[in-house]
Structure 1
C-alpha cells in the first residue's frame, strides 16, 4: 500500500480549470432553467415574459397534429404536456420539459380545433407535400449516414459526388441544438477530425465535423480560478500537515476554569 499523494498544481491546472468552467456552464444553465420555470408559472398566459427573462426566442407553428409536429415537439413528454387540460383547454404554459440533456422547453397552445377528416380535395396539396417531406427526410437521413461513414474513413469524395460542402466554422456550446451530438463525439486530434449526424430545431438533418475542442476561458476568470485552486491546495496541505502532526506528536490540552 502506498499513501495517496497530491499532484503538483501545474500538472492538474488545465484539467481543473476545464472542470470548473464546465461546472459553471452547467450552473448557469440550471439558473436559467429556474428563471424559465418561475416566470412561465407567474405569467402563464404568454411565453413572452419567460423568453425575455432568459434571453431566448418564442417559436410558433401553424395548426399541427401529433403526426406532423416538428421534431422538437414529438417527444412523449411534450405530447403529454400538449394534451394536458391546463395546456390544451386553458391555454396555460406547460411546466419545463427536458427534451435532451441540458435542453428544456416550455410549450403552450395559442389556439386549437378538433381533429376532423377533411375531403381529399381540400387537403390534397398538403398530403402531397407531407409525403414529399417524409421521402426527403428519409433520403436526407440515408445520405447523412453515408457521409458520416465515408468521412470518418477519410473519404471526402462523397461530398463532391453529392455537390455538398461544409459551411462556415461555428463554435458549439451547450445551448446549441447540436450539443447532445457533439458532446458525445470522440475528441478530435490535430490531424483526425470526427463526424456525426444531428438535427436542428426545425428538423433539418445536419452533418457535423468536429475538428477542434477549445476551453474558452476568460483571462480574468482564469486568474480567479487559479487563485481559488491554490488556496484550496494550501488548505488541503495544511490539513494534511495537521493530521500528520496529531498522529506523531503528543499534544496536551489545558482547560481554563473561570473564577466564581
Structure 2
C-alpha cells in the first residue's frame, strides 16, 4: 500500500493536478503558509485553521464564481443563504486538506529531495522556451512571498506528500473490461423508432372554460399571480468618466509635470548578479576557508559557473551559473549582498566575501545596464492621460463630498444635490429585491432602497460608491408598491388559455392511448392519425445525442424496453408544449466498439475514483475531532 502511495506522485495525473495547485498558489500568494496563525475558524484534531487561510480560500472561490457567472453573480451574492453555503463549502474543503495532511504524516509518507528538485525543473510556470529559467523561478517565488528556494521547496514537499495520498486513493478504483463493454454498448446503442405527434391545436376549438373553473384555478394558485414588492427611486449619479470628459490638460502643463517628476520616467541602473553560497554547517571557520578559496578562484578569473556547481549550496541557481537575475539598487533582500553587487565594477566584477544568516556569499556582477531617462515625447501621451485622470479623480472626490453634505442637509429632496453637481435627478424603473440592472444590481444599495429609513421617513440615502473611484449614487424613494396578487380580471384571459391548453393536452393524451391500444391490437391506425392531422414518422438508427428529434422523444426512446416477438414497445409522451406523441421502438442495435472506448473507460474510472475519494474524506472526518468555530456572524465579515 505504502509503495503504491509513494508511486502516486510520479504519475501523469499527479503532475497535472500538482501543476494546477502550484500555479494557483504562486499567483495568489502564500497566504497562511508564511504568516503567523491568527484566530482559528476551525480545529482539526487540535490543529487550527486560521481566519487568514479561510479568507484567502474564500476570496479565491468568490473570484472564480464572479468570473464564471459575470453580472449574474450579484444576484447570487445578494442571497444570504447561498453565500452562507459557499462559506461552509470553503471551510469543509480546508478541513479535508488538513485531514489529508495529518493522515499523510501518520502514514510516514516522504518525498525525496531529488524528486522535489526535478519537479521544480519540470514545472512550466518556471520555464521559458521549454527550459527551466532560474530568474523566472526566483521572481515568482519571491512574488508569492517565499524568502528563498529552500522555503519554497519545503512547501512543495508538503504539497507533494499530500498529493501522494490523494493520487493513491484516486487510483485504487478501476473498471473491469465487462463494465467498460456494457457502457460502450449503452452509449453506442441506436434504435429504430417511429413516432406520431398529436397537436393540441386541433382540440382547442371545441373547448369551453367556465367562469367557475377560472375562479377555482385562481384561488388555488394565488402564488402564480403574485407581484413582488417594488420601489421606484429618484437618484443622482456621479460618474468619473463624465467628469474626465470635461477636464482639459495642456502640453505645457504636461511638460512641467515631466520636469517635476523626471525620476518617475527614469529607468534605474540595474545589474545582473550571480552568486555562490557556502553554508556555515557545523564548522563556520571551515566554511569561511572554503568560501575564501572559491572567492580567490573567482577573482583569478576561473569560470564562475563551474565554481558555482562545485561550491554553491544553492543548487538551483548553481545549475544556471549561480544566476540571480537582474537587480536594482535595494532590490536584494540582504543589504550586504546588495552593497556588494553595486560595489562591483566591470574591471572587478567579483565583490569581496559577504556574510548573511545563510552563510558566506560570493557575488559577481555578470552584466550591467546604465540608467536611462525617457524623453518627454516618449511619455507625453502617458502624462496627459495621467494628469487628466488625476484631475478628474480630484473633482470626483470634491463632488462626492458635496453630494454627501447636501443630501444630508436637504434630506427631503435631491434637487439641491443635482443643481450643485450640474446634473439631473433621474427616476429608475420599478426595482425588486433582486435581478435589477446596473447600478441597481448592488446588493447594499437595493437593501437601502427597501429600508425602513427610506420607506417610512422619506429621507435621502447615504452616498454609495457603486464602483470605488468610478461611480457614486444617492437615492430616495419615488414610489412604492407592496407585494400583492394580481386581480382576477387582469389574469382571467391568461387562466382561460392555460386551462384550455390543459384540457387539450388531456384530449391528446386520451387519443394517444387509443392509438397505442389500436397498434397493440394489430389494427391499422393510419386513418385515425390522418383524422388527427398526424402520421407516423420513421427514424432509423436514432442515437442518444440526436438533436433532430424532440428531446423528450429521444429520452423515452432509450427508456422503453426492447421490443419482443410477442410484445411491442410503445409509449405516449407529453411534450414541452403540451402536445402528445405516440412512440414505438421497432428495433435495437447494440452498436460496435469504436475509437471512443478508451475515453469511456477513463470516464468510468474517473467517476469511480471521485466516489472513492469522497468516501475516504467522509471516513477521515468521522474519525476526527473537528471543532468548527466560524459562526454566521463571523462569516459576514468575509
User: What TM-score does the superposition give when structure 1 sets the normalisation length?
Assistant: 0.42
State the structure with more CA Rg. 2
Higher-helix-fraction structure: 2
Higher-strand-fraction structure: 2
User: What TM-score does the superposition give when structure 2 sets the normalisation length?
Assistant: 0.18
